[in-house]
Chains A and B, each alone.
Chain A
Amino acid sequence: MSAGHHWLVIGGVLFVLLNTAAGLIWLERRMLALWQDRYGPNRAGPFGILVVLADTLKLFFKEDWIPPFADKVVFVFAPAVVVASVLLSFTVIPFAPNVLVADFNVGLLFFLAMSSMGVYSIVLGGWASNNKYALLGAMRGASQMISYEVFMGLSVMGVVILSGSFNLREIVEAQKSGWYILPQIVGFFIFLIAGIAETHRLPFDIPEAESELVAGFHSEYSGMKFGMFFIGEYMGITLISAMVVTLYFGGWLGPAFLPPVIWFVLKTFAFIMLFILLRASMPRPRYDQLMEYGWKILFPLSLVNLLITAAIKLML
């Protein structure tokens, strides 16, 4: 891989990723509207796609307000963390055989580490806001992240056992004989649920639960700082979808009539649609229900899944 190609990949991934995250605002509103028998934004541009531009411009022109009671340095720092950590996670994801930023031999661990870093933005943002609702949201975010991070890591270990590698490219290549969705169906569901909780999307949007906590940890944020949280959330959706595709649905693998990167994008968008459908149809669980569900059901289940996978691997 030449240096020129490498820079092209980095630039391309950044460009596509940021535009995808912005475009998801439009996609989500249109899909939610479709599932609620409405139209959604359909005025600006073809199918209302320019609503993204209008939203971004609006965010730029809003007053960039730092509350006088806030911890100013941390307040400014927090929104950058979420975007940075999600963007860093994307460096290890193989989009196609030649399209990946870093061929890391512990890519999966790097992903887990970076996605846990995202919680710092919630906790720091909520703490620096010096607002009780923001702090409550931050506390919820932290405890949700701790409980769901545990079995998120455990659920992907089944994939690691089967493929014998932490390298995401090798994991994809190991799926040439068959996608891991079949042997790892339990692991897939656990990873998906943990991923939803990780991105704090509905129905697990407990840290921002707008009907309980105003807007949770980002109550005090406005302008582009709020926009960073917003973009970070949408990039998180893309990240979890891309990870699900990489780990369980064969990544770029697919019939040869389409190029590998197209297969990857198609599969990723199928999961993004699933995320939006979840938002359209699920009620938010109570906070203690969420914890109970995580520790009493999913955590033992992921351990059992790991045990059985390892036993089968040993016997073969």
Chain B
Amino acid sequence: MFSLLRSMWLVFLHMFHKRETYQYPEEKAPLPARWRGRIALTRDPDGGERCVGCYLCAAACPVDCISLQATEDEHGRRYPEFFRINFSRCIFCGFCEEACPTYAIQLLPDFEMAEYNRQNLVYEKENLLINSQGKYPGYNYYKVAGMAIGGKDKGEAEREEPPVDIKSLLP
């Protein structure tokens, strides 16, 4: 009996506590920097697309909401011909971000994506690309990768020695 009265009193005292509610549209909740929200394709420091069309994100996606087609430009650089994310399926798990070898696909702290028309939730590449390097500034995949592309031969990447001719006996 006493415990019942005590709990009533304690609940009554909550009248004078601060309310926990965020009055949402006027007052936004603070989102941490690593919050998994809207997916974006980032660019490298030179402004080029980071995505190399490796399909790992599409393979990692548990709900198959990522669709893309890789192609190559005249310099031999791979890039996605189209890149499509269906956000009405996306569960914001972040597996695509983990799978991406070039830090191209990144989840941003933004969730306000509501649409009246469901089809508007399918984002194409021009909707996904952002003019930013995201969480990894200074990273440029083709500058550190050993692969030869137009304008950069083997051994010319950053922190890379020229290739060794293993058939030669000279030191």
Contacts and interface: CB of A to CB of B under 8 A. Distances in A.
A304 interface: no
B15 A34 contact: yes
A103 B17 CA distance: 46
A34 B14 contact: yes
Interface stretch (A143-151, A221-229, A277-285): A277-285
Interface in B1-58: 4, 7-8, 10-12, 14-15, 17-21, 23
Q: How large is the interface on B (under 10, 10 to 19, 20 to 34, 35 or more residues)?
A: 10 to 19
Interface in A21-70: 34-39
A281 B19 contact: no
Contacts of A282: 4, 7-8
B20 A277 contact: no
Contact of A38 (B10, B11, B20): B20
A148 B20 CA distance: 39
B14 A37 contact: yes
B124 to A, nearest CB: 36
B8 A278 contact: yes
Contacts of A35: 11-12, 14-15
Given A278-B8, A281-B7, A282-B4, A39 B21 contact: yes
B18 A37 contact: yes
A281 B9 CA distance: 9
B10 to A, nearest CB: 8
Interface string A190-212: 00000000000000000000000
Contacts of B21: 37-39
A34 B19 CA distance: 8
A277 B10 CA distance: 11
B20 A281 contact: no
A277 B11 CA distance: 8
A39 B12 contact: no
A37 B20 CA distance: 6
A39 to B, nearest CB: 5
Nearest to B14: A35
Interface in A68-97: none
Residue with the greatest number of chain B CB neighbours at <10 A, chosen from A35, A39, A282: A35
A37 B4 CA distance: 20
A282 B23 CA distance: 28
Contact of B19 (A39, A277, A278, A280): A39
B27 to A, nearest CB: 11
Contacts of A36: 14
Contacts of B15: 34-35
A280 B19 CA distance: 16
Nearest to B16: A34
A36 B10 CA distance: 11
Nearest to B11: A281
B23 A39 contact: yes
Contacts of A39: 19, 21, 23
Given A38-B19, A39-B21, A277 B8 contact: yes
Interface of B: 4, 7-8, 10-12, 14-15, 17-21, 23
| Nearest 3 A/B pairs, CB to CB | A281-B11, A281-B8, A37-B20
30 contacts: A34-B14, A34-B15, A35-B12, A35-B14, A35-B15, A36-B14, A37-B14, A37-B17, A37-B18, A37-B19, A37-B20, A37-B21, A38-B19, A38-B20, A38-B21, A39-B19, A39-B21, A277-B8, A277-B11, A277-B12, A278-B8, A280-B11, A281-B7, A281-B8, A281-B10, A281-B11, A281-B12, A282-B4, A282-B7, A282-B8
Given A37-B17, A281-B8, 5 more contacts: A37-B14, A38-B19, A39-B21, A277-B12, A282-B7
